Amino acid sequence: MRFCQRIQLVVAALFACAIAANAGAETSPDPNLKVLARVALLSDPHVNRATNGMDATFRPHFEKAIAQVNAAKVDVVLIAGDLTQDGKPEECADFKELVKRFRAPVYFVPGNHDVGHKFNSGHTNGTVTSERVAAWEKTFGPSWFSKKRAGLRVIGINSSLLGSGFEREDTMWKFLERELARPARVPTILFMHYPLFLKSPDEPGGEYFNTEPAPRARLLHLLQQAAVKTVLTGHTHRSLVIRRDGILFLTTPPISFGLPRGEQPEGWTLVTVFKNGEAHDTFQPIE
């Protein structure tokens, strides 16, 4: 009996080691698929100048994540908003210096901590303003764009504008309607801060974490029209992975702090895009 127990313990230990060894490893849903590009998706670094408390841990987290991303030798880096804690000029300057450390090309979009919260359906409690968006764009450049890199088309948008009714939102919709008028010849990734939905495309708005129903439906229509297969977001401070209607809706865990605090890990996501446009995600915890 003792011998059998020892054998069982050895087998269990070997199994645990195998799981640990494969943690964070890239696996393809189909071994026949060929990799097109490897994308590092980060979000919510909340760069600030705090010297004590939890906020003081955000910069070290970001620095560790940058080192991990560089070690992974990815093709492109996407940062899905909340670049700073409060959008202060000194925080923006610190963020710009930190992202210079990435070895791969970096693209990023604003989040609600950078330019203000979205407007909720039927309410006027949004804090995003045209002035804050203009200030962000003066510092970082356009808050929406389309770039081609590593065989991909990457479209980034300013999701705080959605449902605002601002002139800049109207201009952004015109841009999206041009870009997403038809399928592209290369796989397309759309990334932004707010997830379109948390559980279902028909869920209600009026809450903090999702996109409001009217702009959500409009954007979903464009995504289907353009045969987009991957939508990458942040904001929730926890992971969300939803596959629906041929689209991967992926929300990465945060760099700064998980929610609920102490219960969700911090980290980033390695997104492997295959030549057929499909994508596979692997969480990379901050070590």
- In this structure, what DSSP letter does residue 33 have? P
Tell me the chain's radius of gyration from C-alpha atoms: 20
* Residue-wise pLDDT tens digits, 144-191: 999 999 999 999 999 999 999 999 999 999 999 999 999 999 999 999
Specify the pLDDT at position 125.
79
Quick check: 5 pLDDT over 50?
no
Count of residues making up the chain: 287
The 3 state secondary structure assigned to 214-271 is: HHHHHHHHHHHHCCCCEEEECCCCCCEEEEECCEEEEECCCCCCCCCCCCCCCEEEEE
Specify the pLDDT at position 136.
98
Start-to-end C-alpha separation, the chain: 40
Q: Would 15 be classed as within a structural domain?
A: no
- CATH at 147: 3.60.21.10
Q: Would 78 be classed as within a structural domain?
A: yes
Q: Would 1 be classed as within a structural domain?
A: no
Q: Would 168 be classed as within a structural domain?
A: yes
Specify the pLDDT at position 262.
85
Q: Would 149 be classed as within a structural domain?
A: yes
Quick check: 78 pLDDT over 90?
yes
How far apart are alpha carbons 231 and 50 in whole angstroms?
32
Q: What's the angle, vertex CA 163, arms to CA 77 and CA 87, rounded to 5? A: 50
Could you list the residue range(s) of the whole structural domain that residue 278 is in? 33-285
Specify the pLDDT at position 122.
55
What's the whole-number mean pLDDT along residues 256-283?
96
Specify the pLDDT at position 31.
72
Specify the pLDDT at position 45.
98
C-alpha of 187 from chain center: 17
Quick check: 1 pLDDT over 80?
no
How far apart are alpha carbons 282 and 27 in whole angstroms?
8
Higher per-residue confidence, 62 vs 287 = 62
The domain total for the chain is 1
* Residue-wise pLDDT tens digits, 188-210: 999 999 999 999 999 999 989 99
Quick check: 23 pLDDT over 80?
no
Select from 51, 53, 28, 50 the least CA-distant residue to 38.
Answer: 28
- The model's confidence at residue 14, banded by pLDDT at 50, 70 and 90, is very low
Q: Which helix (H) or strand (E) holds 106?
A: strand 106-109
Specify the pLDDT at position 6.
40
- The model's confidence at residue 32, banded by pLDDT at 50, 70 and 90, is confident
- The model's confidence at residue 19, banded by pLDDT at 50, 70 and 90, is very low
Q: Would 54 be classed as within a structural domain?
A: yes
Q: Would 10 be classed as within a structural domain?
A: no
Predicted structure pTM score: 0.89
Specify the pLDDT at position 259.
95
How far apart are alpha carbons 127 and 261 in whole angstroms?
25
* Residue-wise pLDDT tens digits, 209-253: 999 999 999 999 999 999 999 999 999 999 999 999 999 999 999
Q: Would 221 be classed as within a structural domain?
A: yes
* Residue-wise pLDDT tens digits, 81-121: 999 999 999 999 999 999 999 999 999 999 999 999 999 87
What's the whole-number mean pLDDT along residues 25-50?
85
